[in-house]
């Protein structure tokens, strides 16, 4: 079997027909097949999310109640941040398709320009997601509270700033009369979790007791998420009554009545599975975006070095483009089913 | 060794400067559509509360708008609309059949499970 023999074999027998039934190259076809399987993975994740949600109907959190913050501006902006993220991803998808279009004209400079824009957009999205996760994990200043009748409520409104702790009973480090002004919210939240807040005083780590000086809360609103003796799921309580109920529970000195933020075991937004799905679905998608950025960088280096120009076509850009658009496509669905509905 | 007997499909997608202009204006059009749909979605999500009378309509319009967005991304950005009909169907049909089936079966089961949990466990 020599090389000359191979080249004389009829291509019809060699390759089973030299024309692709789909008029497309091998690489592109395989990328499509990979994307179908990946789409099934995401489809499975979102459908299982739907299953869990439908089997826990009323307790499930609502998107605009959970995601209503903007960096530097605080709360009260429902869905705006995630809308911004969606927009960033759509724009980076557009720049990618422009890179592909430039490739079709063999315009090397154009491909480089648009690919760099895509990479920047990708980094912006990953960064936004990092902020979103940080915010989700840390949660609000109020947390979710178990009221005195046993019902559990999420709390909306403006948390009055803690000004200082005035020590009223000496401990190991702090003596009576001292005023603590550092790390207040953090100390306060830890004490609240341990049930060390009672009637407006806080028991600090060293055993000293201090009075909490705090500004008044505003626009407090309780939304009941778990039934209790007096309140049932879905009820909202506003105004003075909400404030009174919240602080009665807070000042009871009983541990574990409040939940701040989210982890794999508990979260302040809703059932345990809610945070788990949030971490898994947005995390898996974020990982896709991240690997997409890496692949884009590698291909961009190839473009700069002229690898594809020598080859006579920019199909590699087209293939990474397919992957990148797919990531955008998945986000469109995550956005609807996780945040909007 | 260079194979000159295999058809090079990668070159089929090449186009001229004038065609490029047309393609770009189409991309711009799709960008505007996608952005507008997203703005409408966010406005509806922020201003219409879940559980109100028109919520079911809002929910279904979210799903329809999502599918419209997805169609634009797949058919225009991913160029599936320019591929051969056979390729289009071999990619979309198995997925659609499977996903509709799994959505139907799981959501149906979930609602039943919810009712059962309420009935027997008081949850």
Say what the pLDDT of residue A33 is: 93
Q: Using H for helix, E for strand and C for coil, what is the string for chain A?
A: CCHHHHHHCCHHHHHCCCCCCCCCCHHHHHHHHHHHHHHHHHHHHHHHHHHHHHCCHHHCCCHHHHCCEECCCEECCCCHHHHHHHHHHHHHHHHHHHHHHHHHCCCHHHHHHHHHHHHHHHHHHHHHHHHHHHHHHHCCCCCEEECCCCCEEEEEEECCCEEEEEEEECCCCCCCCCEECCCHHHHHHHHHHCCCEECCEEECCCCCEEEEEECCCEEEEEEEEECCCCCCCCCEEEHHHHHHHHHHHHCECCCCCEECCECCCCECCCCHHHHHHHHHHHHHHHHHHHHHHHHHHHHHHHHHCCHHHHHCCCHHHHHHHHHHHHHHHHHHHHHHHHHHC
Grade residue B3 by pLDDT with cuts at 50, 70 and 90. Answer: low
Q: For residue A323, what is the nearest residue in chain B, using CA coordinates? A: B78
Say what the pLDDT of residue B6 is: 61
Is A310 touching B (CB cutoff 8 A)?
Answer: no
A40:B90 CB<8 A: no
**Alpha-carbon gap: A263 to the closest alpha carbon of chain B (Å):** 23
Is a pLDDT exceeding 50 seen at residue A1? no
Is A70 touching B (CB cutoff 8 A)?
Answer: no
- Pick from A43, A54, A97: which is nearest to B99 by CB? A43
CATH for A24-53+63-139+274-340?
A: 1.20.120.80
Is a pLDDT exceeding 70 seen at residue A4? no
Grade residue A265 by pLDDT with cuts at 50, 70 and 90. Answer: confident
Grade residue A315 by pLDDT with cuts at 50, 70 and 90. Answer: very high
Domain map (residue ranges) of chain A: 24-53+63-139+274-340, 144-262
A43:B106 CB<8 A: no
Q: What is the pLDDT of residues B59-112, one digit of tens each?
A: 999 999 999 999 999 999 999 988 889 899 999 998 999 999 999 999 999 989
Q: What is the pLDDT of residues A140-162, one digit of tens each?
A: 889 899 998 888 888 888 888 89
Q: Whole-prediction pTM value?
A: 0.87
Is B39 touching A (CB cutoff 8 A)?
Answer: yes
Give the mean pLDDT of A116-123.
97
Domain map (residue ranges) of chain B: 22-82, 84-123
Is B7 touching A (CB cutoff 8 A)?
Answer: yes
């Amino acid at each position: 079997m020599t090389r000359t023999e191979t080249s004389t074999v009829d291509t019809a027998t060699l390759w089973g027909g030299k024309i692709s039934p789909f008029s497309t190259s091998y690489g592109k076809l395989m990328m499509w097949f990979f994307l179908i399987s990946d789409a099934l993975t995401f489809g499975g994740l979102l459908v299982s999310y739907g299953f869990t949600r439908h089997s826990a109907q009323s307790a499930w959190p609502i998107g605009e109640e959970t995601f209503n913050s903007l960096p530097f501006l605080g709360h009260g902006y429902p869905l705006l941040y995630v809308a911004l993220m969606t927009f960033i991803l759509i724009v980076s998808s557009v720049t990618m398709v422009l890179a592909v279009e430039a490739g079709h004209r063999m315009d090397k400079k154009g491909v480089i320009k648009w690919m760099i824009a895509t990479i920047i957009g990708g980094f912006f999205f990953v960064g936004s997601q990092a902020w979103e996760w940080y915010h989700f994990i840390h949660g609000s200043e109020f947390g979710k509270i178990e009221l005195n009748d046993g019902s559990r409520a999420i709390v909306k409104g403006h948390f009055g700033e803690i000004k200082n702790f005035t020590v009223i009973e000496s401990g190991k480090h702090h003596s009576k009369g001292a005023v603590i002004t550092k790390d207040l919210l953090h100390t306060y939240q830890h004490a609240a979790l341990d049930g060390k807040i009672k009637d407006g005083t806080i028991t600090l780590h060293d055993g000293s007791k201090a009075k909490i000086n705090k500004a008044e809360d505003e626009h407090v609103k309780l939304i009941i998420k778990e039934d209790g003796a007096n309140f049932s799921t879905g009820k909202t309580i506003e105004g003075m009554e909400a404030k009174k109920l919240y602080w009665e529970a807070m000042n009871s000195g009983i541990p574990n009545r409040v939940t701040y933020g989210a982890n794999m075991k508990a979260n302040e937004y809703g059932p345990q599975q809610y945070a788990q799905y949030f971490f898994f679905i947005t995390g898996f998608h974020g990982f896709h975006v991240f690997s997409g950025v890496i692949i884009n960088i590698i291909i961009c280096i190839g473009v700069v070095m002229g690898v594809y120009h020598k080859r006579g076509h920019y199909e590699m850009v087209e293939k990474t483009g397919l992957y990148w658009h797919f990531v955008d496509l998945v986000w469109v669905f995550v956005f609807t089913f996780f945040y909007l509905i | 060794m260079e194979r000159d007997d295999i058809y090079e499909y990668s070159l089929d997608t090449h186009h001229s400067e004038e065609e490029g202009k047309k393609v770009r204006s189409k991309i711009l059009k799709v960008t505007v559509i996608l952005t507008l749909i997203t703005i409408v979605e966010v406005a509806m999500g922020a201003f219409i509360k879940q559980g109100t009378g028109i919520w079911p309509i809002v929910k279904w319009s979210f799903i329809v708008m999502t599918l419209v967005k997805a169609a634009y991304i797949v058919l225009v950005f991913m160029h599936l609309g320019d591929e051969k009909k056979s390729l289009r169907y071999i990619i979309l049909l198995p997925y659609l059949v499977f996903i509709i089936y799994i959505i139907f079966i799981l959501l149906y089961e979930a609602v039943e499970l919810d009712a059962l949990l309420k009935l027997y466990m008081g949850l």
